[in-house]
Amino acid sequence: MPWFISIFLLFLMYGLYGGLVLAPADYQQGESYRIIYIHVPAAWMSLFIYMVMAVNGAIGLIWRIKMAEVVAISSAPIGAMFTFLALVTGSIWGKPMWGTWWEWEARLTSELILLFLYLGVIALYNAIEDKRIASRAVAILLLVGVVNIPVIHYSVEWWNTLHQGPTVTKFDKPSIHISMLLPLLSMAVAFKFYFGLGLLVRARKELLHRERNTSWVRELLLDE
């Protein structure tokens, strides 16, 4: 079952991470930098999931494919979670490093805006009775809000910000040591599998709810 494969791979990646977190060398920042192993992958996921939602929203809007609609809305809580985690872990990391829990600067603010966008999507979807219409409304909202994504990504290049500049997602060599880069990437992959897992769980639930009055669902349930 795809279930078990996902779980397995997930734990595999986590295992890799567990081993590697113990390995990386010290750093100028001291040990507190290790928060990077969850902060950065979480932030990456927050952007990645939004794009997944926006694309699926567009597909649902243009071609009216139900699965696209289900995927889009099922990803929302997971995306919101990662955004929240990115903000919280970033804040915790910022306290010893920058001396403050929060700064109103470009990247932090635009990531916060992203969180509100996610929450708005969830709120809008829950407010509309007819789920097919709700999916389309949400798709419109997602597409309007997509301008925020490049803003978040390039905010550290466009403005003088407190948050450090891009070290991995540049076009030339990443300016981070390989022994630290590997666990980081491994965590990123692990988070992606987590996303897959979470998506499957929520999509099943959403699908069941949307299709509850159809015959195939009736047969499925009565077979038990």
Partner 1 sequence: MNSIMEFLNMGGYGAYVWSAYGITFVVMIIAIVIPLRQHATLRKRLTSQLKRKNQS
Partner 2 sequence: MNNLSLTKAFMRLLRRDLLLVMRHRSQAANPILFFVIVASLFPLATGPEQSLLQKMAPGIVWVAALLATMLSLDAIFRSDFEDGSLEQLMLSPHPASVLVLAKVIAHWSVTGLPLLIAAPFMAFLYGLPTDASWTLLLSLLIGTPVLSLVGSVGVALTVALRHGGVILSLLVLPLYVPVLIFGSGAVQLTLEGISPAANLYMLSAILALALVLTPWPAAAALRLSLS
Among 21, 51, 62, 123, binds partner 2 (CB under 8 A): 123
By a kind-dependent CB cut-off of 5 to 8 A, residue 109 interacts, out of partner 1, partner 2, none, with partner 2
Output the smallest distance, CB 1 to partner 1, in A.
Answer: 15
Q: Any contact of residue 217 with partner 2 (CB under 8 A)?
A: no
CA distance 109 to 87: 10
Three-state SS annotation for the chain: CHHHHHHHHHHHHHHHHHHHHHCCCCCCCHHHHHHHHHHHHHHHHHHHHHHHHHHHHHHHHHHCCHHHHHHHHHHHHHHHHHHHHHHHHHHHHHHHHHCCCCCCCHHHHHHHHHHHHHHHHHHHHHHCCCHHHHHHHHHHHHHHHCCHHHHHHHHHHHCCCCCCCCCCCCCCCCCCCHHHHHHHHHHHHHHHHHHHHHHHHHHHHHHHHHCCCCHHHHHHHHCC
Shorter beta-carbon distance to partner 1: residue 34 or 153? 34
- The residue count for binding partner 1 (CB under 8 A) is 36
At 157, the amino acid letter reads: E
Among 77, 84, 103, 109, binds partner 2 (CB under 8 A): 109
At 138, the amino acid letter reads: V
Where residue 24 falls (left for φ over 0; alpha for ψ -120 to 50; beta otherwise) is beta
Q: Any contact of residue 98 with partner 1 (CB under 8 A)?
A: no
At 89, the amino acid letter reads: T
Residues 127-156 that bind partner 2 (CB under 8 A): 127-128, 133, 136-137, 140-141, 143-145, 147-148, 151
By a kind-dependent CB cut-off of 5 to 8 A, residue 188 interacts, out of partner 2, partner 1, none, with none
Shorter beta-carbon distance to partner 1: residue 56 or 89? 89
By a kind-dependent CB cut-off of 5 to 8 A, residue 42 interacts, out of partner 1, partner 2, none, with partner 1
Q: Any contact of residue 49 with partner 1 (CB under 8 A)?
A: no
Among 68, 78, 87, 141, binds partner 1 (CB under 8 A): 78
Output the smallest distance, CB 5 to partner 2, in A.
Answer: 37
- Write out the residues near partner 2 by the rule CB under 8 A: 109, 113-114, 116-117, 119-120, 123-124, 127-128, 133, 136-137, 140-141, 143-145, 147-148, 151
